[in-house]
């Protein structure tokens, strides 16, 4: 490096005139680079799937010559790994792409880069699940959706979370009883499991009502003036911990004919929640009421539609009498103490009830009224 002298002043008391000065260039001098350190600084963050750091490296050693200020344009710092590596297990490094602004393309400095320790903490999961009521307090891990999973990560949940109550409702982590949700036996799995934590998890689980089907079954009985049925209602969807009481079925009408079987509405659903854990669907069935057999004192029974008449009796009356004086029926034609095929029935109730059964002294299965004539 060549150095030239200039502005030399000689203090000889004579303005330098006592000397003859010759200026010789120095060709053996050099300027040594100044040391410049760019140091990453320690940082702690929650796992986010990236190596980014929000902090700025420190710069040490910039020179400030008169009339000029050197500077450094930085490109930030980052973690060497995106993953959780434990307490103070991460390393921070200065990002490439920095520039030293010294008017000499940075050649006036000897730059040293230094790292720093850091820490990435696991990300607390946000999860949510929905299931149908089943009488239990567990929520299977496979039902949960992970709301804040980093797109490139792989994570699974096994085991079960636990809710405060088996009943329908919304349960949340940290919620007050009886609406709390706890981690229970939930366990993280998958290649990204170490980057997440269930400690301080957020989210909710919703239990919706289950469908409960109560279906009447087909039944056939002899006419007895009531709608009672001995059929046993079919139950589908009832949780093992719950029960039904006072469950029965009935015919829609007490009359003889093709009937519909219905579930009695007075059943009691014992689920610990007033039956609210279920959406009940009632099903009907087809059945029939046939004519009732008379007793040994009867010659026959006739049932009317408007008000069924079980007590009308032909009590071995003589020919010509009215054998059904409790009903609006009369026998005409071949009246005799024994009802026979072809006897004609007349009166206000004829034709109003469909099939009117006459059984005493009749073939097996009884006889019915067709039009206004007895047919067996």
> What share of the chain in percent tops pLDDT 70?
76
What pLDDT does 313 receive? 31
What pLDDT does 88 receive? 98
Q: Is the pLDDT of residue 177 over 80?
A: yes
- The size of the chain, in residues, is 376
Indicate the DSSP class of residue 194: G
How many CB atoms lie under 10 A from the CB of residue 123?
A: 19
User: Per the structure block, which two tokens stand in for 164?
Assistant: 């405060």
As to burial, measured by CB atoms within 10 angstroms (0-12 exposed, 13-18 middle, 19+ buried), residue 294 is buried
Q: What is the mean pLDDT of residues 218-235?
A: 96
The candidate with the shortest Cα–Cα distance to 124, out of 62, 9, 201, is: 201
What pLDDT does 291 receive? 74
Chain mean pLDDT for the chain: 83
What pLDDT does 2 receive? 61
Q: Does this model's pTM top 0.85?
A: no
pLDDT band at 18 (very low <50, low <70, confident <90, very high): confident
Lowest model confidence (mean pLDDT) among 5-9, 172-176, 357-361: 357-361
Q: Would you put residue 173 in left (φ > 0), alpha (ψ -120 to 50) or beta?
A: beta
Q: How far apart are the first and last CA of the chain?
A: 138
Lowest model confidence (mean pLDDT) among 3-17, 155-169, 185-199, 248-262: 3-17
Q: Is the pLDDT of residue 223 over 50?
A: yes
Tens-digit pLDDT profile for residues 338-348? 444 455 555 55
Task: Yes or no: say if 191 and 221 are a contact pair by the CB < 8 Å rule.
Answer: no
Tens-digit pLDDT profile for residues 309-359? 323 333 333 333 333 333 344 444 443 334 444 555 555 545 544 444 444
Residue 352, CB half-sphere, CA atoms under 13 Å: how many? Answer: 16
Q: What is the mean pLDDT of residues 4-28?
A: 77
């Amino acid at each position: 490096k060549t150095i030239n002298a200039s502005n030399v002043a000689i203090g000889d008391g004579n303005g330098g005139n006592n000397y003859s000065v010759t200026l010789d260039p120095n060709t053996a001098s050099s300027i040594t680079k100044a040391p410049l350190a760019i140091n990453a600084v320690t940082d702690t963050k929650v796992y986010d799937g990236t190596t980014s750091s929000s902090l700025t490296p420190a710069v040490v050693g910039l020179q400030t010559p008169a009339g000029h200020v050197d500077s450094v344009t930085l490109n930030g710092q980052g973690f060497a790994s995106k993953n959780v590596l434990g307490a103070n297990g991460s390393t921070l490094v200065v990002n490439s792409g920095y520039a030293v602004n010294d008017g000499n393309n940075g050649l006036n400095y000897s730059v040293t880069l230094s790292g720093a320790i850091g820490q990435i903490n696991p990300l607390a999961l946000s999860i949510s699940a929905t299931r149908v009521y089943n009488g239990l307090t567990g929520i299977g891990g496979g039902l949960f959706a992970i709301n804040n999973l980093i797109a490139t990560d792989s994570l699974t949940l096994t085991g079960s979370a636990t809710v405060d109550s088996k009943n329908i409702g919304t349960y949340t982590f940290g919620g007050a009883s009886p609406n709390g949700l706890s981690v229970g036996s939930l366990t993280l799995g998958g290649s990204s499991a170490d980057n997440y934590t269930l400690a301080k998890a957020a989210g909710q689980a919703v239990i919706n009502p289950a469908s409960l089907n109560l279906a009447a079954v087909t039944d056939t009985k002899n006419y007895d003036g009531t709608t009672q049925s001995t059929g046993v209602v079919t139950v589908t969807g009832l949780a093992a911990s719950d029960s039904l009481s006072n469950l029965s079925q009935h015919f829609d009408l007490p009359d003889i004919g093709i009937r519909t079987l219905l579930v009695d509405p007075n059943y009691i659903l014992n689920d610990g929640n007033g039956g609210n854990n279920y959406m009940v669907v009632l099903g009907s069935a087809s059945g029939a009421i046939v004519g009732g057999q008379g007793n040994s004192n009867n010659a026959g029974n006739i049932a009317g539609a408007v008000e069924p008449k079980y007590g009308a009796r032909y009590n071995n009356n003589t020919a010509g009498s009215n054998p059904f004086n409790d009903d609006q029926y009369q026998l005409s034609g071949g009246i005799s103490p024994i009802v026979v095929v072809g006897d004609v029935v007349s009166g206000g109730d004829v034709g109003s009830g469909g099939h009117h059964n006459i059984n005493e002294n009749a073939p097996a299965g009884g006889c019915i009224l067709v039009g206004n004539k007895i047919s067996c």
